[in-house]
Amino acid sequence: MVPRLAGPSWQPPFSLDLRPDGHLVIAMAAAAIVLGGLGLAGALRSRWRPDPRWLLAAGCVVAALLAFLPPSGSADHLNYAAYGRLVTLGQNPYAVPPTALPADPVTGAVEEWAGVTSVYGPVATAVQALASLVGGDSVRLTILVMALVNAAAFIGTALLLHRFTQGDADLQRRAALLWAVNPLMIYHLSAGMHVDTLAIACMVAALMARGASSGLLLGVGIGVKLNAGLVALGPAWELRRSPGRLAVVAGTATATVLVIYGLAGSHVLDQVGAASKKVSLATPWQLAKGGLQTVFGPGAYSTWIQVGSLLMLAGLAWLILRALPGAPSGDTAPAVAAVMVVAWLFAAPYALPWYDGLAFALLAMASWPVLEGFMVARVTILSLGYLPAREALRPEDLLWLKTLLRERVVPWSLLALTLALVWWAVSAGARARRPSASAAPPP
């Protein structure tokens, strides 16, 4: 669950360096995920009314403290450090994998995906390079710098959401529950230190900004992770009747993205293209892929799955928008963006639990309880499927966590959840458009 970081133990991130039995660690993590999901769902539905400022403060303190502990849950942070190290050594992380420098103390520490070039955007790579400049050949210090940036992004997002919902204590409370003290977001994005946190902070700020500032922040967020660009559909919808304002936001965002990715070189999208053809083991598309192979024979069926996922995304987005025809008071951009991201997460062939963080941040701005419930269920199920997300040192007798839970139970569970979402959207959409009895003409 927690990769060992080389370096003096007195340097942060701090660790007791205890190595308890893997069965105990995974069991405790599973219990934390289940209890966290149930607790979050209960808190969102209960009449509990704590002061949102206390929730905000608690979440910020936890995020700050976790920055000084080793990242847990996966080994992705070792890849981040390696990509930053490659930049400082004059190499291109979009063309050169960490395995090219196996003797280096930072690139040589990578556990998984060591032979894969970076899939992250140039802004994320720049942050990783900055951390490497500070950390030098120390994995521990490099991770610390990235953890501090990650904590700042997590806390900044919490503060932005609190400000966005100001004037309504109930909305502020829900926003804090969905982000600042959300145990599953803390587990994945704060303790796990995934780069998605940076993209989320940029996108939340972009939705709160106006004009060129909004476009600039959208471009920077896309510069962290390309798929965060779905959020741009929110402002595009909101400004569709204001061509001039739309042109400013869209033009600024487009120019920012072109500059950021242009400066990164011709290989910047190589791994993104390869990743777009993958199907992760825990999504329902893995079941569809297996069915296609059974009927038509061996093959990846990448094009079929890509087309199917795009059609599913469009269909889900349309159904959800019909079910939720009116956005809450305020901007419509966060509401539309939330719908698009939720639809994408349910339709995507490749998904990991920390991807869901973007949806939770957007739902904190839109405040749609039904979608919140679906997302809590989804991230809880998917989190159990990637327990642990780090393959190294997993006890051999727990291989069933991958072969049974991740590859069979979770995909079928997510398929059932997706069908439930479709059923609810169709039913709610029909009810929303059914004339009320009071509106019927007199006999």
- 287-298 tens-digit pLDDT: 999 999 999 999
Q: In terms of residues, how long is the chain?
A: 443
Dihedral sign from CA coordinates of 412, 418, 422, 428: positive
Give the residue from 59, 43, 80 showing the smallest Cα distance to 156. Answer: 59
* Domain membership flag for residue 124: yes
* Domain membership flag for residue 3: no
- 325 confidence band (pLDDT: 50, 70, 90): low
* Domain membership flag for residue 18: no
For residue 334, the model assigns a pLDDT of 95
Give the residue from 315, 9, 366 showing the smallest Cα distance to 165. Answer: 366
| Residue 270 pLDDT > 80 | yes
* Domain membership flag for residue 69: yes
Range of the domain at 419: 29-393+400-426
Give the residue from 346, 352, 360 showing the smallest Cα distance to 406. Answer: 352
For residue 435, the model assigns a pLDDT of 58
- 66-84 tens-digit pLDDT: 999 999 988 999 999 999 9
* Domain membership flag for residue 169: yes
- In whole angstroms, what is the distance from residue 368 CA to residue 366 CA? 6
* Domain membership flag for residue 81: yes
* Residue range 149-153: mean pLDDT, rounded: 98
For residue 394, the model assigns a pLDDT of 83
- 374-392 tens-digit pLDDT: 999 999 999 999 987 777 7
* Residue range 356-378: mean pLDDT, rounded: 96
CA of residue 213 relative to chain centroid, distance? 23
* Domain membership flag for residue 289: yes
For residue 4, the model assigns a pLDDT of 86
DSSP category for residue 108: G
DSSP category for residue 165: T
- 440 confidence band (pLDDT: 50, 70, 90): very low
Q: How far is CA 285 from CA 15, 191, 300, 312, 330, in A?
A: 39, 29, 11, 11, 36
Q: How far is CA 337 from CA 233, 276, 334, 404, in A?
A: 6, 21, 5, 34
Contacts of 154 (CB under 8 A, 6+ apart): 63, 189, 190, 197, 201
How many domains, in total, are found in the chain? Answer: 1
The count of C-alpha atoms lying within 13 angstroms of the C-alpha of 126, restricted to the half-sphere facing its C-beta, is 13
How many other C-beta atoms lie within 10 A of the C-beta of residue 318? 14
* Domain membership flag for residue 443: no
Amino acid, res. 137: D
- In whole angstroms, what is the distance from residue 416 CA to residue 40 CA? 21
For residue 165, the model assigns a pLDDT of 96
Amino acid, res. 216: L
Residue appearing with tokens 């940029």: 202
For residue 443, the model assigns a pLDDT of 43
For residue 3, the model assigns a pLDDT of 84
